[in-house]
């Protein structure tokens, strides 16, 4: 008696979600759910701050979690009039410090990466050794040295100390980037008659633009948000933005027992704008600098 052939099993038709996203494992769903939760928690504080900045003080005190309906810009007008000068002063310090850091670190890094001279390895290892020392440990000797050199009490001294303090990290990154550049490019430049300075300006620096932007972004974040060093170096009349925010009291709240949280929140929101603009402009180069082998030895 001949056996009947087996009947092929029909696979169930995919659901509309499976047609849209494909088959997703439970672990993947859990990972993305956790990431979404962390993202929401990260932005929650910022959303609360922006919401408070758009509400009058009386509404914040009576209903803290209420929404800014209708929103008001009076808090931003009050905070902007008082914080614009410290913000411009801070931006000046940041850009002057970053230009000084790169102007000094690029030639030094090129010499350590592309030139031969006695003690080169010892100097580079000394740069690496300074990176291993915590900044808190160096705070007191740096302050004593700044007073002895006449840097204390002025923005010029603050910028100078930032330039000096930013050299080790910048030199380390730029040297490792210069070492990964092709030697044939520099040999061709020398054959064409280029000097070492011309090779640095016309070959090395244009090729290292991503890592230079990375260093600029990292230093901008550190200098812009620095609180301890400016509080030690500059007087109250030349305070930076972070010091101004720490001591910030709105003009209407000076005679009140409670601080004006709406004006303060507006001041914090305004202080974030330069960093957001920098990230939008330099994010492309910043990612290239992080992913193009800058930390490969």
pLDDT tens digit sequence for 246-267: 877 655 544 455 678 888 899 9
With respect to residue 241, please indicate whether it lies within any of the assigned structural domains: yes
pLDDT at 297: 44
Angle between helices 209-224 and 74-114 (to 10 degrees): 130
Shared domain check, 82 and 55: no
Query: What is the Cα 5 distance to its own chain's centre?
Result: 69
What percent of the chain has pLDDT above 90? 27
Residues 6+ apart with CB under 8 A from 24: none
**Total domains in the fold of the chain:** 2
Residue range 168-173: mean pLDDT, rounded: 92
With respect to residue 49, please indicate whether it lies within any of the assigned structural domains: yes
Question: What pLDDT digit, counting tens, does each position of 20-37 carry?
Answer: 555 567 778 888 889 999
Residue range 29-55: mean pLDDT, rounded: 89
Shared domain check, 172 and 39: no
Domain of 140: which CATH number? 1.10.3720.10
Shared domain check, 98 and 198: yes
> Would you call the peptide bond into 12 cis, given omega within 30 degrees of 0 as the criterion?
no
Query: What is the Cα 33 distance to its own chain's centre?
Result: 27
With respect to residue 235, please indicate whether it lies within any of the assigned structural domains: yes
- CA angle 167/172/175 to nearest 5° reads 115
Whether the predicted model's global pTM rises above the 0.85 cut = no
Query: What is the Cα 116 distance to its own chain's centre?
Result: 34
Please say if the pLDDT value at position 207 is more than 80.
Answer: yes
Looking at residue 15, the DSSP 8-state letter turns out to be P
pLDDT at 294: 43
Structural domain span for residue 41: 22-62
| CA nearest to 105, candidates 124, 118, 90 | 124
Please tell me the distance from the alpha carbon of residue 250 to that of residue 217, in angstroms, as a whole number: 31
């Amino acid at each position: 008696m001949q056996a009947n052939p087996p009947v092929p099993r029909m696979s169930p038709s995919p659901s509309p979600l499976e047609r849209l996203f494909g088959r997703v494992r439970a672990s993947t769903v859990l990972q993305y759910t956790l990431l979404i939760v962390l993202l929401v928690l990260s932005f929650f504080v910022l959303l609360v701050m922006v919401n408070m900045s758009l509400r009058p003080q009386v509404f914040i005190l009576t209903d803290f979690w209420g929404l800014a309906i209708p929103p008001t810009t009076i808090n931003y007008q009050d905070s902007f009039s008082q914080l614009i000068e410290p913000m411009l002063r801070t931006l000046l310090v940041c850009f002057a410090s970053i230009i000084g850091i790169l102007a000094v670190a690029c030639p030094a890094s090129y010499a350590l990466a592309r030139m031969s001279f006695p003690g080169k390895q010892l100097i580079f290892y000394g740069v690496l050794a300074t990176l291993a020392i915590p900044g808190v440990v160096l705070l007191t000797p740096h302050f004593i040295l700044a007073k002895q050199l006449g840097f204390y009490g002025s923005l010029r001294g603050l910028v100078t100390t930032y330039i000096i303090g930013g050299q080790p990290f910048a030199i380390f990154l730029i040297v490792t980037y210069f070492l990964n550049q092709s030697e044939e490019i520099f040999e061709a430049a020398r054959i064409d008659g280029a000097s070492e300075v011309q090779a640095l300006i016309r070959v090395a620096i244009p090729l290292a633009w991503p890592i230079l932007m990375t260093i600029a972004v990292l230093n901008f974040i550190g200098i812009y948000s620095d609180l301890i060093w400016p509080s030690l170096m500059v007087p109250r009349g030349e305070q930076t933005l972070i010091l101004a925010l720490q001591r910030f009291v709105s003009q209407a709240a000076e005679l009140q027992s409670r601080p004006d949280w709406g004006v303060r929140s507006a001041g914090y929101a305004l202080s974030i704008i330069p960093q957001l603009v920098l990230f939008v402009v330099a994010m492309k180069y910043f990612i290239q600098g992080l992913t193009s082998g800058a930390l490969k030895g």
